[in-house]
Chain A
Amino acid sequence: MRRLCFAAGLAILLLQVAPAFAVSDPSELLANPALEARAEAIGSHLRCLVCQNESIEASDAGLAKDIRAIIRQQVVAGRSDKQITAYMVQRYGTFILLRPPFEPLTVLLWGSPVIALLLGAAIAFFAFRRQRREAAASAPIPLSPDEQAKLEALLRS
């Protein structure tokens, strides 16, 4: 049932089944382009459960087909995107969401950009401070007023 469809990183793949694009039966698509676009947007955020890393829209697995059809029925029935997504999550859990929800479990995931930026800024800040301090420590000691006067006298003469 698993179909493998795509590879770019490496060539060592055993692609098992031919790559055919997901929607092999156009009659399942909605005639109304606006509704169809909505259905596609919802489906592209849902994971095909029997495949590895494809969306419902991108897969031609049987289950993906059924779920595509359910999405379209519900879109036509006037249910909101949120309701349709919730319907799917109720059945398959948050695993079906390609964009994981923000919850305690995913704090580190969603926080990763902020954490990385803060960490980078902190490293840069401390490195700058240290560099300043070391530069100041190794800088020549400024002349005392006495020495300054002597220097000026020497320069004048």
Chain B
Amino acid sequence: MSAQMSQKSMLGRRVMLGAPLVVLAAAGGGWALMLRRMAGGNFDPHSLPSQLIGKKVPDFDLPGLNGGAGITGAELQKPGRTMLVNFFASWCIPCLEDAPMLNQLAKTGLPIWGITYKDKPADTEQFLSQHGNPFGRIAVDLPGRVAINWGLYGVPETYLIDASGIVHWRYAGALTQRVIDEDLTPLLHRLGA
């Protein structure tokens, strides 16, 4: 009788002392999942979500490049069609990779507006003449303050705004064919652009 009892309590204690093992299994499983997703490219501990998703862009008024038309917040808060806004700079190296992708997108008829970040207009001009100009309009943010209001943390960054002015998507870094095919294109289809 007592031997049976102690057998039972022994099992209970084994279960209890197995708790650290359960904790380890959970932690290890989590790590494994993170490593797998990181290797697959869909888990980046350094990425940062945009606060603008689901909202309208903030108010601002920026002058255009070399006397061209500028961009205001009001225009982007009700653009009337789905469009992209791209922050870029001539000094930014990933922007070189970004340029052909934007050119390719512009050819599909998607309107893209550009905002230069802390870039001298002359340098921007040269950058555009060298790498193509996919932008319908270009505004200049020399002090970089409007960018901060958007929550920008580097260049290039690309924002997708729908016809009613809601930001649906933000991509930080140079666009790649994979990102366009897997993220952007389906979104554009959903928005009916």
Which residues of A are in contact with B by a Cβ distance under 8 Å?
A: 1, 49-50, 52, 62-63, 66-67, 70, 90-93, 95
- Report the nearest A residue to B50, measured CB to CB: A93
- Cα of A67 to Cα of B143 in the assembled complex, Å: 12
Partner-binding segment picked from B35-43, B64-72, B130-138, B144-152 = B144-152
Which one of B46, B49, B148, B150 contacts A70 once the chains associate, using CB atoms below 8 Å?
Answer: B148
| Given known A1-B154, A50-B153, contact A93–B148 (CB-CB < 8 A) | no
- Cα of A92 to Cα of B148 in the assembled complex, Å: 9
* 24 A-B residue pairs with CB within 8 Å: A1-B154, A49-B48, A49-B153, A50-B154, A52-B46, A62-B118, A62-B144, A63-B144, A63-B148, A63-B154, A66-B143, A66-B144, A66-B145, A67-B148, A70-B145, A91-B51, A91-B149, A91-B151, A92-B48, A92-B153, A93-B48, A93-B49, A95-B48, A95-B49
- Cα of A66 to Cα of B118 in the assembled complex, Å: 11
CB atoms of B153 and A63 under 8 A apart: yes
Contacts of B144 in A (CB 8 A): 62-63, 66
Residue in A49, A50, A92 with the greatest tally of chain B CB atoms within 10 Å: A92
Residue in B46, B49, B153 with the greatest tally of chain A CB atoms within 10 Å: B153
**Chain A's nearest CB lies how many Å from the CB of B183?**
20
CB atoms of B51 and A92 under 8 A apart: yes
Contacts of A1 in B (CB 8 A): 154
